[in-house]
Structures are given as structure tokens and as C-alpha cells.
């Protein structure tokens, strides 16, 4: 059993990345994720790694592309406006089938927005963010422990499926301190025969590229990628359920919203309402099947978000609109309180004829 240490979420990401073999970090300062860069700046030189502060988010993500193309584990981190700048590079990474971990410690938007926690980059993350047909695997941690754990899993998934993975956190997750146990990656090392290491005059040259001016070829590249996405949807969907079996009202939330929701569910149960919580851990692939199953017994769903209502669309799609879904949200850096979520649960219970 590894020792438990008290860490900030952002630092847990950095240390977890190092623990699973990431020795290259490229980034650019932006609140509220800068601790990742600061931690890397301190640690990397001492372990023979590379920390490089790029001239922009755009340059940073392209350095990630270069290092990933060279076959090594590499990451970058940023916050909302910075992720918008990285989106061009992320699209290229998807198009070139390059693995990497991209961390978004979200803040309020749009525009320069604020520096307080938010979940309003949900659409951007789960729909790709940049141009073209592609997905990222999107992991949503709800504790400092998960910040570390999902960082390691993120690298493993990226290598396994040869694609970029996003860790979608928020300012609360990045800044909060909790005890964390750092685990090393147990995944098998993935061979990368496609990597650009020089031919050594022993093999034909490797090309990492997203361009094809031949329509049927480009179509087949996209088709191959979506076959991989289908495997991921089947094999890698993750979620947590809490008191859902007999629940009339199911609150759906990820990250910090799920923690608030869990408190509210406990309070609702104490008040005699059969409430439960469903927490997607992978936002893409969204746990559609598992949530749809709950629509057979639950009467109403509530989407708790730090956005104006983005995940709610996936909730509605997942349950195929078979049950009403309402939204409980705060934005701009505000976080819904357990009391606010409880009020939403009570309102739903009143509508469905349960106790209130």
C-alpha cells in the first residue's frame, strides 16, 4: 500500500503523470491550473525530464504533438480559454492518431470569463472542440484521488487507443487539498512502431500526418477511427452509482457537482425521498446504457451542472426522453449548494407524487 499524502488536485495530476512515466510537459501559465506547470518545473529537471514553458498555448500543444510523434508519454495542461487555443492542435492530434494527455482545469466563460470553477467546457470536450469528426476520451475526476488515478488511466488509454485523452477537471478540483495515494500504471507498455525515431536505415520512413487530398482515403481514415471509438464506447465507459436501485429521483452530475449532489441525495433520503446519484466518470463515452437502464424505474432525472445546461442534453439522449429531466445549475464560478440541489430533488418528488 502506498503512503497517503496531502496534495492539491493540480499537484496530484503532475505527480501521477510522473509516476506513470511522463517525462515531458509543455504548457503556458493560466489560472486555475498553473500549479501543474509549477510542480513540473520543479520536478522535471531533477528526474531528467523536460519542462518547457511555451510562448503560447498553441505552441505548447504543438510541442506535445512533436513529442508524441516521437513516441514518448507527454502532456499539457491549461484552463478553458487556453483549451480553445489548443483546439487546433487537438484536432491535428486526433487526425494524426497521436496519444497524449490534455488537462483542462475549467474556469467560467465565455471569453476571458472568470477564474472560478466551471463545467461549461462540457460541449467543447465531449464533442471534440476543434474541427473535423473526432472524439477525445474525456475523464471527469471528482476527488484529488481521482485526479491522480484518472491521470494515469488517461495516459494508458491514450496509448492503447492511439488518441488524445482529456482530463476534464474544474477549479475546485485543481485547488482543493485531499489525501491521495499515488499508484503506478499497471497497464502493459504499448509498442509504438509508428513513432518518429529515425529510420536507422533499417525500415521505410514513418509519416505522421492528417492530410489526404484523396476523398475515399480520408473517408477510410475517419471510418477506421470511428471503429476504434465504437470499441471504446463498449469497453471503457465508466460511471458511479449511489443509491440508484430504488430511486425515484436520480441526480446526474460529474466532478464537483457530483459531490454536492451526493450530499443532497443523503439529505433527501433523510427527508424520506428516494433519491439517488449517477456520476459519469467518462463524459465521452457517456454512460448511455447504464443511465437508460435507470429510466425503467426512476421517475425523474435532474442534471446538476456548473454550466447553463450542457450535459443535460446527453442525459436526455441517454434516457431517450422517456422521463422528464430538469436542470439544477449555477454558473460564472458559482457552485450549486446541497440545499439548492435538495430543493430541486424536492420539487421533482412533488411532481412525481413522492414525499416532499
State the nearest-atom distance from the C-beta of 53 to other proteins, in Å. Answer: 10
195 or 267, CB closer to other proteins?
Answer: 195
Q: Which helix H or strand E contains 16, and what residues bound it?
A: helix 9-19
State the nearest-atom distance from the C-beta of 196 to other proteins, in Å. Answer: 4
Q: Which residues bind other proteins (CB under 8 A)?
A: 24, 26, 50, 52, 54-56, 58-60, 62-72, 74, 88-89, 92, 96, 196-202, 205-211
State how far the alpha carbon of 51 is from the alpha carbons of 11, 23, 86, 121, 285, in Å: 15, 8, 18, 26, 31
Contact 128, 95 (CB under 8 A): no
What are residue 48's phi and psi, to 5 degrees?
70, 20
60 or 260, CB closer to other proteins?
Answer: 60
70 or 267, CB closer to other proteins?
Answer: 70
State the nearest-atom distance from the C-beta of 23 to other proteins, in Å. Answer: 9
Contact 348, 302 (CB under 8 A): yes
Side-chain half-sphere CA neighbours of 315 within 13 A: 27
Residue 191 CA to residue 195 CA, distance in Å, equals 9
239-242 and 177-181 as β-strands: parallel, antiparallel, unpaired? unpaired
State the nearest-atom distance from the C-beta of 54 to other proteins, in Å. Answer: 7
79 or 91, CB closer to other proteins?
Answer: 91
Residue 101 CA to residue 221 CA, distance in Å, equals 22
* Number of neighbours of residue 280 by Cβ within 10 angstroms: 29
Per-residue buried b or exposed e for 37-75, using 16+ beta carbons within 10 Å of the residue's own CB: bbbbeebbeeeebebbebeebbbbbbbbbebbbebbbbb
- If you ran DSSP here, which 8-state letter would residue 296 be given? T
**Of 87, 92, 96, 93, nearest in space to 104 by CA:** 87
69 or 283, CB closer to other proteins?
Answer: 69
State the nearest-atom distance from the C-beta of 60 to other proteins, in Å. Answer: 8
9 or 95, CB closer to other proteins?
Answer: 95
Helix, strand or coil for residue 139?
Answer: strand
Contact 2, 168 (CB under 8 A): no
46 or 205, CB closer to other proteins?
Answer: 205
* Number of neighbours of residue 30 by Cβ within 10 angstroms: 20
205 or 227, CB closer to other proteins?
Answer: 205
**Of 330, 283, 284, nearest in space to 304 by CA:** 330
52 or 187, CB closer to other proteins?
Answer: 52
44 or 306, CB closer to other proteins?
Answer: 44
Q: Helix axis angle, 80-96 relative to 57-69, nearest 10°?
A: 30
**Of 231, 248, 239, nearest in space to 314 by CA:** 239
Residue 150 CA to residue 282 CA, distance in Å, equals 10
State the nearest-atom distance from the C-beta of 280 to other proteins, in Å. Answer: 31
State the nearest-atom distance from the C-beta of 325 to other proteins, in Å. Answer: 39
State the nearest-atom distance from the C-beta of 285 to other proteins, in Å. Answer: 27
State the nearest-atom distance from the C-beta of 165 to other proteins, in Å. Answer: 17
State the nearest-atom distance from the C-beta of 15 to other proteins, in Å. Answer: 21
Amino acid at each position: 500500500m502506498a503512503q497517503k499524502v496531502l496534495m492539491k488536485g493540480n499537484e496530484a495530476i503532475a505527480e501521477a503523470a510522473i509516476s506513470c512515466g511522463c517525462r515531458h510537459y509543455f504548457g503556458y501559465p493560466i489560472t486555475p491550473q498553473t500549479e501543474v506547470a509549477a510542480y513540473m518545473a520543479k520536478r522535471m529537471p531533477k528526474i531528467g525530464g523536460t519542462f518547457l514553458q511555451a510562448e503560447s498555448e498553441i505552441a505548447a500543444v504543438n510541442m506535445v504533438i512533436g513529442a508524441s510523434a516521437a513516441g514518448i508519454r507527454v502532456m499539457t495542461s491549461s484552463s478553458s480559454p487556453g483549451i480553445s487555443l489548443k483546439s487546433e492542435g487537438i484536432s491535428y492530434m486526433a487526425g494524426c492518431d497521436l496519444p497524449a494527455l490534455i488537462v483542462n482545469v475549467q474556469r467560467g466563460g465565455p471569453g476571458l470569463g472568470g477564474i472560478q470553477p466551471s463545467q461549461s467546457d462540457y460541449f467543447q470536450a465531449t464533442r471534440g472542440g476543434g474541427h473535423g469528426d473526432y472524439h477525445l476520451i474525456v475523464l471527469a475526476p471528482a476527488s484529488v484521488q481521482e485526479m491522480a488515478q484518472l491521470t494515469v488511466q488517461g495516459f494508458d488509454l491514450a496509448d492503447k487507443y492511439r488518441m488524445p485523452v482529456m482530463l476534464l477537471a474544474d477549479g475546485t478540483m485543481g485547488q482543493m487539498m485531499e489525501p491521495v495515494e499515488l499508484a503506478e500504471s499497471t497497464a502493459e507498455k504499448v509498442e509504438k512502431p509508428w513513432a518518429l525515431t529515425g529510420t536507422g536505415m533499417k525500415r521505410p520512413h514513418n509519416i505522421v500526418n492528417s492530410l489526404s487530398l484523396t476523398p475515399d482515403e480520408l473517408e477510410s481514415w475517419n471510418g477506421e477511427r470511428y471503429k476504434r471509438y465504437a470499441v471504446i464506447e463498449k469497453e471503457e465507459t465508466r460511471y458511479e452509482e449511489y443509491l440508484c436501485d430504488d430511486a425515484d429521483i436520480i441526480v446526474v452530475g460529474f466532478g464537483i457537482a457530483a459531490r454536492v449532489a451526493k450530499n443532497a441525495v443523503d439529505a433527501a433520503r433523510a427527508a424520506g425521498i428516494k433519491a439517488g446519484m449517477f456520476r459519469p466518470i467518462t463524459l465521452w463515452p457517456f454512460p448511455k446504457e447504464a443511465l437508460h437502464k435507470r429510466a425503467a424505474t426512476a421517475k425523474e432525472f435532474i442534471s446538476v451542472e456548473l454550466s447553463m445546461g450542457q450535459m443535460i442534453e446527453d442525459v436526455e439522449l441517454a434516457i431517450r426522453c422517456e422521463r422528464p429531466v430538469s436542470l439544477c445549475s449555477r454558473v460564472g464560478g458559482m457552485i450549486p449548494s446541497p440545499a439548492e440541489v435538495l430543493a430541486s430533488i424536492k420539487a421533482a418528488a412533488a411532481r412525481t407524487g413522492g414525499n416532499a
